[in-house]
Amino acid sequence: MNKRALIFLLGVVCIVVSFVSVLALMKPANNEPIPVDEQSTPVFKPTTPEPTIETTLTPEPTVSPSPAPNSSIDPTKPMIALTFDDGPAKSTDRILDILEGYNARATFFVIGDMAMKNGQYIQRAVALGCEIGNHTQTHKVALKGISAEEVMQQIDPLDEYLIELIGRPAKYIRPPWGTFDKTALDAFGRPVILWSVDTRDWETRNSEQIVEHIKTHVFDGAILLMHDLYPETAEAVGIIVPWLIDQGYQLVTVGELFEAKGIELLAGHAYRSAIVTD
Ligand SMILES: [Zn+2]
């Protein structure tokens, strides 16, 4: 019985061993082609042209826009500088109401004799982001054919008053009637700002004509001349400011205009507009 059982067990073991060895020989033969196929597929993936396109696109973002001096100003869009001479006066306050209502700014070339009577309007203008220029103390002396000392007698008293009132002198000079010579230009020690669009509001005293003149003459980079002495001018400002904004113009100060246009304002030079001549 023991011998028979042993022989039977050996027979079973032999059959099992031979069966397993046959299976072991067959399995690797079946599995081998699979890794070859798996290896062949990733070979094609890196050859796709997509990554090369990505690398050629990366240099483009280096064209970065230059930072705007005022976050609300877009240097790529048109802009103008409204300027008001001969004040400040009662109409200045009305003009400031309009500018404030439309988040617009302007530059005021004030007369010393007027400024010393109406300083509160200058303070309000500065608080609204407007700029102040020097239009001489009396507006009675032509800054031509006189000495540098005589020229500065017309400039210094107003500057001293402005330092007391707003903490700094005028940034620019606008000589009365736009009249000056080389002696005066050198004496000022800061830029002269003239104008490119003269509304002649002092002559017409007619709001419709002032509005029409601006509509037909305005251009990107222009400096507009008005006078904040007259109620007709203030009335025209109330009409023209929303019209200009509707046309896409940004209403900025002289300093903002030139900075946005990339033009440095220099002492000893006079400017009529912010047109880039290159
Ligand atoms: Zn004037």
pLDDT tens, position by position, 185-216: 999 999 999 999 999 999 999 999 999 999 99
Mean pLDDT for 123-127 is 98
Q: Are residues 27 and 135 in the same domain?
A: no
Let me know whether 224 and 256 are in one domain. yes
Mutual orientation of helices 119-127 and 90-101 as an angle, nearest 10°?
10
What secondary structure letter does DSSP report for 35?
H
Q: 61 C-alpha to center of ligand 1: Å?
A: 48
Residues 53 and 86 occupy one common structural domain: no
CA 39 to ligand 1 centroid distance, Å: 86
Q: Are residues 181 and 232 in the same domain?
A: yes
Q: For this structure, is 228 an active site residue?
A: no
More confident residue, 163 or 2: 163
Give the Å distance between the CA of 92 and the centre of ligand 1: 15
Which of 37, 62, 87 finishes a domain?
62
Residue 260 Cα to ligand 1 middle (Å): 27
What confidence score (pLDDT) does residue 105 get?
98
State the residue range of the domain holding 199: 79-271
Residues paired with 143 in a beta bridge: 180
On whether both 33 and 127 belong to a single domain, the answer is no
Q: Of the listed 85, 86, 201, 228, which one is catalytic?
A: 85
How much distance in Å is there from the Cα of 226 to the middle of ligand 1? 9
pLDDT reading at 48 higher than 70:
no
**For the chain, how many structural domains are there in total?**
2
**Any catalytic annotation for residue 135?**
no
Range name among 42-51, 77-86, 89-98, 198-207 with the lowest pLDDT average: 42-51
Residue 171 half-sphere exposure toward CB, CA atoms < 13 A: 14
Out of 86, 227, 269, 278, which one is annotated catalytic? Answer: 227
Confidence band of 49 (pLDDT split at 50, 70, 90) = very low
Q: Where does the pLDDT of residue 40 fall: very low under 50, low under 70, confident under 90, or very high at 90 and above?
A: very low
Domain annotation covers residue 128 = yes
Residue 227 counted as domain residue: yes
Instruction: Indicate if the pLDDT at residue 169 is higher than 70.
Output: yes
Record the tokens describing residue 235, joined without a space. Answer: 């009335």
Q: Is the pLDDT of residue 35 over 50?
A: no
How remote is the C-alpha of 140 from its chain's centroid? Answer: 38
Residue 102 has pLDDT above 70, yes or no: yes
pLDDT higher at 224 or 51: 224
> Do 177 and 40 belong to one domain?
no
Q: What is the CATH number of the domain that holds 212?
A: 3.20.20.370
Residue 276 lies in a domain: no
